[in-house]
Every structure is written in C-alpha cells, then in structure tokens.
Amino acid sequence: PDGTKQHFAKLMAYMLTNEIDGKPQLEIKIALTEDGKGLFHNKSGIIHQTNEEIVSFTGSNNETGSAWDVNDEEFVAICSWNSEQDKQQAKQIQKGFENLWNENNTTVRLFDLPEAVKQELLKISPKSTIEYQDTIKKVLEDIDAHNNDKDKESVSEKIPKEERGLRPYQNEAIDNWMENNSRGIFSMATGTGKTFNAFGCINKILKKHPKMVIIIACPQTHLLEQWKKALTEFNKLMPSDTRVQVEDTIMCYHEKKWRPRFDQIVYDFNKKSFSGKDILSNFIVFVTHKTLNSNDFKEYIDKLTNSKILLVVDEMHNIGSELSLDALLGKYDYRLGLSATPMRHYDKEGSDALMKYFEKIVYDYPLKKAIDDGILCGYYYYPLYAELTSDEMAVYDDLTKKIAAKMNNREIKTDADDTNDPANRRAALVGNAENKLLVLEEILSKKKWSLKQTLIYCTSHPSPNLSKGSKTQLENVNDLTSNHHLTVKSVTYEDPTKSRGEILDNLSIGHYDCITAVKCLDEGTDIPSVETAIIMASSGNPKQYIQRRGRVLRQSIETGKKHAVIYDILVKPPKYQDQSIQLRERKLLAKELLRHQEFAEIAINKDEAYMAIKEVKEYFEIPDKLNQDKINNL
C-alpha cells in the first residue's frame, strides 16, 4: 500500500539507533559473493530465548509471491529443546551464522551499511518512542486495510465474475476450435485470456478423449512456470465442469533434470493394472519450444501408445522458422496455436507453414475490441523523437553508404573491425542513440523523478559509434535512474527463471520503482500492475511492439489501474542529397511512423499523438494516413 514502504524505512531508522541492553536493536551488513557475479541467497537466523534455548532457521525462499506460491523452495526451523540431535543442529546453524557475521566465511564478502545510507535513514527516524509507536500503528493499519481490500476484491471481483464460467467471447473461441476438428489458431490481443481459452479447450478435449497427453509449449522457461500457476488459478475460479482435471504434470526444459521422471510417466501411461485399468490416463507436459524440438523429447513422444495428443503452442509465431518447424510433428492429433501476432514478420514461407499445420485462425479478438469491451485498459500514447549527434551522424552516413552499395551489388570496402552486417550495425547505432537518454531524462524530469510500476525497454547491444567496453544503453539507463534515487532492477536472459519471477514480484509490490529490460519480457509475461512503458529501443518487427504494448494494458484489481501510459522514442534519420538513399531512408522511417500511427489510432489522447507524428511526416514528405501501399509507392 502507498506509504507503507516509507513507514518501514522509519522503523528501520529508529532501530538502527535504539539500544536494548546496551546493544543496537538493529545492525545491518551487506553480503556479496566472492566474485560478485552470483547472489548471496541463503536465509538463516537465530532466535534467542531468555532460558538460553534457541530456534535456528535456514532456507532459500524470499518473501515474494513466486517463492511461496510457485517455486520449489525449502525452509527449516530447529528448536534446540526438542532433542539432543536438534540441539546440535541448531548450534551448527548458529555457528555458521556467527562465522558469516564475523567474516570467517571465505566465500562471502561483508560490508557495513554505508554511512551515507545510514545518515539518510536517520533523517526520517522517529524522534521519540511515541512517534515510533505511532509509526508501528500506521503500518498495522496499512496492512489490515490492504488485506481487507484484497478480501473485498476476492468477493466482489473474482468469484462473481469467473465462477459463472468463461466469458462469452472465450466460449465462442473454444466452440470454433472444437468445430474445426480441434485444430486452429486463436489470434487474440495480449492480455485477453488466451491461456484460459486453452484450458477451456483442454477441458473439452479431455471429456471427449479421457486417454490423452497434453503438451503446452512456450518460448521461455519463466512462461512455463506462469502457465503452471495459471492452471491452478483456472481450477480455483472455474465451476467444476469447466476445470482441467489431469492426473500428472511435468516440466521439461534444459535447466531441469526432466528425463528420469518423464521415463516413469511414459511407463505408467502405457501400462495397465491387473484389473485392466490405466495406471495413468492423462498428463500435461509443460515444455519450451527448444526442448519440444529436441530429439530426446521426440523419442519420449514416440514411446507413447494408444493415446491422442493435443499440442498447444504459446507464442506460436516463434516456432515458424525453418529449423523450429521440425517440432510440429504430424502425430499430434489436435493442435492449438496462440498468438497476438500469428503471422511471421517478413517470412511468408514460415507463416504459410504455420497456417497449414494449425489449419486456420478460428477466432480473432483485436486490441480495440478488447479495450472497448473493458477487458484491457485504455492508454495514453506519447511518440517522441530524438536526433543523432554529429559523431553518430558520421557513422550513420558511412554505414548507410555500405548498405546502399550492398543493395546495388557493388563491392563494399570494409574496415578490419566492420565484421557485422552494416544494416545490423546501423540498427545498433540507432538503438543506442545518445540523445534518447536526454529524451528519457526529460520524461522523468516532468514526472519529478517519481516512478512506480514502470518498464523501460532498452538495448544491451554495443553501439558501433563507441569504443569497445563502453557502457550500453541498458547500463546508462540504470545509472541515470539510480543516480536520481529510483529503485531499479534489470531483467535479462542471463537471469535464472526463479530470479526473474522474484524481480517481477518485487516490482508488483513496490519494492522496485521500475524495471529495465531487454527482450525477455516481450512475450507472455504477466505483469498486470505495470502502468507505464518507456520504449527506448525496439526492432522493426510488429510482433515486438504489439507484445510490448500488451504488457501494460492488462487490468489490475490490486492496484486499481485505470489506464496505462506508453512513451515511444524514435530516432529521426538525416536527410540525404542522393535521391535513391533518401528514398530508402524515407521508407524505413515511414514503417516506424506506421507503427506510431497504429498506436495512436486507439489511444485516449489520439489527437495529441497524431500531431506529434504529423510534424515528422511533413518534414520528411511522408503522406498522412499511412498504410503499406502508400509506403510501397513512395
């Protein structure tokens, strides 16, 4: 709740200076791993009683939603008075804690709380015991109010809305899929319930074929965890005849040791008891796209006997590349593709192959309709434009000439360090444009450097304009926000699935003001609390910007979000005297402006957004009311 974090900071500040029996009530040290790369993730502590007995505890879980509801965590507490064995174990944990605190642990580095941080805390510390008690009272009131609000939401929103069953448009989509021999694609705007639609299809198909294997494939591991959690949520909210009742589930991806367990599941599925009944009638496999296409996984599928198989592919556009298409086996009897953008960008062959495999789009639910129906939030859209610096302009010109020479089939004279395709290098230059940081600074300054529930999409690719080892845009954005006392955390592909989930949970409860992200949050990730997106860098792929817009338009009961805000920063290219080069530049810019125009069309502040786009169109002599035909005819 608003203000609670400030109250907790006050209590912490008071405890740092208050003494009990001549000792500080609270001491804080900061632990880092020796190499600084990993996390010090252990949680342990000792509770002393007046009779000199102790309770020692240790474990791995954080105080987050993922830790308690999703992750496989372990936590133990040992009371010294239970037995002699427990006493020794409790003392062993105590010894480990004391070794750590006294810096006798060589694998961890400890630091005292920085004096600057301590002094800032002391400024807000309660100045008396009365003020301290009053702060505690406010915290308890905040927590009670929050819990009461959640109880009311639970009664007034979730139960009446969902226990009646799925929404009418969801039932229509499921019926269309069943009528098409249980094959087809749901082309539905991000956040409109494709996951629940899929569970509705699974419920129907299980009633038709009790002996069934269901495979749910996602592009990333954290999405598998999200699907598994959504299944539990679905079964809580749905009436009994709509729930998905399966006898087992398994997660399959490269980080997890899934093979031995899959062996056992396949054995049980194929075997019958002495009475002739199936030992295992059905199960769900949650699998990444990559593992779905592996020979190991296909071998397990080949071992299944006397069964129908349903394949559900989330973000199915990602599986349309030439290599990934091998994952789509003919033996999968029933097929469901899910995507807000089912057609692949600049890949007609891949799109055609997907359409042939899944057969057709059986249900379409566009973004505008979802907003008009109140399923998604409306949004304010602010397109903003930055210019290249003179140094960047020189590099841009050079790369543009190389691109033009390549397109005209002329010899390209390359420098020793020009190892990448010039188009990719130029895209990296534009993504990292220095003036984008100034635009971001202007946005945040207008917000008085106050952010909450914000995603900032950045690039982590190095700029060809800068020397090797220079900071990336992601690092610069992190520095800018941190220097203005915003609590920021990055999410990248390097983060383990568990850590990524915890970071998102911490954003939703307000521990972080904003998250900076590269591409790993583009698809599927549920973050309903997010209210603001700032797009610093993006590819020209419509899939990416449609997914990113969808990230911030989900409804949030807990935060009461009424609308979302999207800032979209684009670089204006230079003008060229060479007409052939200038034409290509205008077409590239026109494609970006088409995206801006599409975003503006259904924005709350449509007219304001249009005016910003129109100024750029006029400067580059690009026609108004853009469409693909107008771009082709430039």
Q: What is the mean pLDDT of residues 348-373?
A: 92
pTM over 0.85: no
Determine contact, residues 462/468, Cβ cutoff 8 Å.
yes
Q: Which DSSP symbol is given to 362?
A: E
Lowest-pLDDT range of 29-33, 36-40, 137-141: 36-40
Determine contact, residues 554/527, Cβ cutoff 8 Å.
yes
> Whole-angstrom Cα distance, residue 268 to residue 263?
9
pLDDT of 155 strictly over 50 = no
More confident call, 348 vs 298: 298
The b-or-e profile of 382-420 (16+ CB within 10 A means b, else e) is: bbbbbbbeeebeebbebbbebbbeeeeeeeeeeeeeeee
Where in the chain are all domains bearing CATH 3.40.50.300? 168-372, 378-388+432-632
Q: Is 599 left (phi over 0), alpha (psi -120 to 50) or beta?
A: alpha
| Helices 295-303 and 259-270, packing angle to 10 deg | 20
Q: What is the mean pLDDT of residues 211-225?
A: 92
- Name the token pair of 154: 């639970």
pLDDT of 151 strictly over 90 = no
Q: What is the mean pLDDT of residues 476-480?
A: 90
State the pLDDT at residue 163: 47
pLDDT of 34 strictly over 60 = yes
**Backbone CA torsion sign across 134, 136, 140, 143:** positive
pLDDT tens digit string along 553-593? 888 877 778 899 999 998 887 776 767 767 777 877 887 88
State the pLDDT at residue 494: 63
Q: With H, G, I as helix, E, B as strand and everything else as coil, classify residue 191.
A: coil
* H or E stretch covering 382: strand 378-387
Q: What is the mean pLDDT of residues 3-12?
A: 78
What number does CATH give the domain 168-372?
Answer: 3.40.50.300
pLDDT of 42 strictly over 80 = no
- From the CA atom positions of the chain, what is the Rg in Å? 28
More confident call, 126 vs 302: 302
pLDDT band at 160 (very low <50, low <70, confident <90, very high): very low
> Whole-angstrom Cα distance, residue 499 to residue 222?
10
DSSP codes of every residue in 386-411: EE--HHHHHHHHHHHHHHHHHHTT--
Strands 108-112 and 29-33: antiparallel
Strands 249-252 and 282-288: parallel
More confident call, 578 vs 369: 369
Q: Which amino acid is at 287?
A: V
pLDDT of 214 strictly over 70 = yes
Residue of 355, 217, 195 whose CA lies nearest to 292: 217
pLDDT band at 8 (very low <50, low <70, confident <90, very high): confident
State the pLDDT at residue 541: 63
Is the CATH code 3.40.1260.10 the one for domain 378-388+432-632? no
State the pLDDT at residue 157: 33
pLDDT tens digit string along 509-550? 777 888 888 765 555 456 778 889 998 877 666 666 677 777
More confident call, 195 vs 126: 195
Q: What percent of the chain clears pLDDT 90, i.e. is strictly above it?
A: 31
Determine contact, residues 181/201, Cβ cutoff 8 Å.
no
pLDDT of 414 strictly over 60 = no
| Helices 194-208 and 168-179, packing angle to 10 deg | 50
pLDDT of 240 strictly over 50 = yes
Phi, psi of 346 (to 5 degrees): 55, 35
> Whole-angstrom Cα distance, residue 229 to residue 213?
19
pLDDT of 182 strictly over 90 = yes
